Amino acid sequence: MKPNGLKLERVGIVAKVHAKEAASVVRTLVKWFGERGIETFVEGSIAKKARGSESFTLDELPRDLSLMLVLGGDGTLLSAARAIGSKQIPILGVNLGSLGFLTDVALKDVYETLESILRGEATIDSRMMLRVELLRKDETVASEIVLNDVVITKGAIARIIEVGVEIDQQFVALIRADGLIASTPTGSTAYSLAAGGPILHPNLDAIILTPICPHTLTYRPVVVAGGAKVELTLRGDSGEVYVTFDGQTSQRMQSGDLVRVRQSRHQVKLVSPPGKNYFQVLRHKLRWAERPRSRRTTTPPKP
């Protein structure tokens, strides 16, 4: 992490439109920024409910934004990160949901955090991203950049799929499982963690390969260098199989399709309050070191 050095002049605001407090929070933020001479732009889905600001869409971002303020959960932030792409606009994630590793600023702390940005005290953390290509007979069907993960998984039919794994043109294994996750260190606390993958510090330069419910228990998650070229080939007739990018978009796969995963030259810049570190976030979100609540009852046990 490094001091932010941000000069807030033009701020974009993206909010989870279905969050009940989103509209009122956005209106208050627009007023707060305006009182400080900071121009604001509000994403279209919530802009109609926020007066005194210009609207924009994620497909066409305003020019020269100093900061993107995201109100919602990790899904909302992932959408904004995908839209930003190579523009390198710092993102401040404010949590309006129940669990968010990327939107780690509580709503009650948002103005204190913004003040710290104005004072130059907040920090910017650069996060690795992955470039993912879906190839079919040497033709590119889809090309995406992901911050968390790319997932190959079966559809509604309960059938094991087979994925051939190669790393730097070296055959690794033929994985038979419900699916396979290729994740960044940032995404290590998302789907990969639920599937039994390890937690990696987001500053590490690595890619995690995590099988989903493998047919053979000896298939375990593998961590490879961030610069490795990972190639995942769908084998056999596995019915409906999809590749999903950051949980946002997906493509149906055919037997023989190749998913190529490489480190992107672009990074996402996340703004954090001063003094906050990754392990604090883990302790809070995963409830580490908390004792389970004891169940008390006044009813005597039955004989």
Q: Are strands 222-225 and 206-212 parallel, antiparallel or unpaired?
A: antiparallel
Catalytic residue among 59, 64, 74, 205: 74
In degrees, rounded to 5, the angle at the alpha carbon of residue 186 between the alpha carbons of residues 183 and 188 is: 55
The total of other beta-carbon atoms located within 10 Å of residue 283's CB is: 13
Task: List for the chain the helix, strand, coil content (%; round to 5).
Answer: 20, 40, 40
Q: Is 178 a catalytic residue?
A: no
Q: How many CB atoms are closer than 10 A to CB 20?
A: 8
What distance, in Å, lies between the first and last C-alpha atoms of the chain? 60
Residue 254, CA atoms < 13 Å, CB-side half-sphere: 5
Contact 4, 123 (CB under 8 A): yes
Cβ-based burial of 62 (10 A; exposed 0-12, middle 13-18, buried ≥19): middle
Q: At what angle do helices 110-118 and 22-35 cross, to 10 degrees?
A: 30
Q: What's CA 226's distance to the chain center, in Å?
A: 17
Which residues are identified as catalytic?
74
